[in-house]
Amino acid sequence: MRLFVAIDINDDIKEKLSVLQKSISQQCMLKRFDVKWVSPEQMHLTLKFFDKEKNAQSLEICRIVESVVAKKSSFELEFEAVGSFGGPRASVVWVGTGPGSEKLQDLQKDLENKFVSEGWAGDNRIFSGHLTLCRVKNPRTGYKLKKACTSYKDFKAGSVFVDSVAVYCSQLTSDGPVYSVVGRYKLQ
C-alpha cells in the first residue's frame, strides 16, 4: 500500500487538461508507447508521497495531516503554463501552479516539517507544485516534448478553491493505480 497527501482539482480543470493532452499529442505526433498519459480523472496535486506503509501507519499519517491542515486557511490556487522535468530531454510533462503558490508552498512546508519532527523521513527534493500530464517512455520523444512545452507557456487551466487536503491510498493494478480516500481534512 502506498499513501500520499494531495489536493484535489475540479472537473473543469480536468477537462482542460484532457484537451491539452490531446493537443500536445497531436503537435508532437506521439505514438502509443512514447508516453504514459495520466488520466485526468486521477489527477491531483501531491503534497507528500510515502513509499510503502502499513495500515497502522495510515492512522498516524492522517493524524499529522489533520493537525497541520486545521491551522491553515483555505485559498485559491491557479494552474498555468506547461513545463517539464528532466533537463534537455523531458521525462515528465506537467502544468504548474500560478497565483496562490505561496500558500501552497507554505502548506506543503508545514506538512513536511511536521512529519520530520514526528520521525518520518524527509524529502530531499525541492517541492514544485504541479499536475502531471505524462511520463515520457521514449527518450527521443523527450526532446520533442521539451520543445513543445514552450508553445504552452501561456496556457491557463483555471483555478481551484483549496478547502481540504486528502490522504489517499494507491493500489497498483495491471490497469494502473486505483486511488481511494483514507481521510479528508478541512482547512479553515
Q: What is the pTM of this model?
A: 0.92
Provide φ and ψ at 123, rounded to 5°: -100, 125
Q: What is the CATH number of the domain that holds 175?
A: 3.90.1140.10
Position 54 scores a pLDDT of 62
Domain that holds residue 175: 2-186
Give which of 46, 146, 25 is closest to 90, Cα–Cα.
Answer: 146
DSSP E strand stretches across the chain: 2-8, 35-37, 44-50, 75-85, 92-97, 130-136, 156-162, 164-173, 176-186
Position 177 scores a pLDDT of 81
Q: pLDDT digits over 54-93, tens only? A: 666 889 999 999 999 999 999 999 999 999 999 999 999 9
Spell out, as residue ranges, where the chain has pLDDT lower than 50. none
What is the number of domains present in the chain? 1
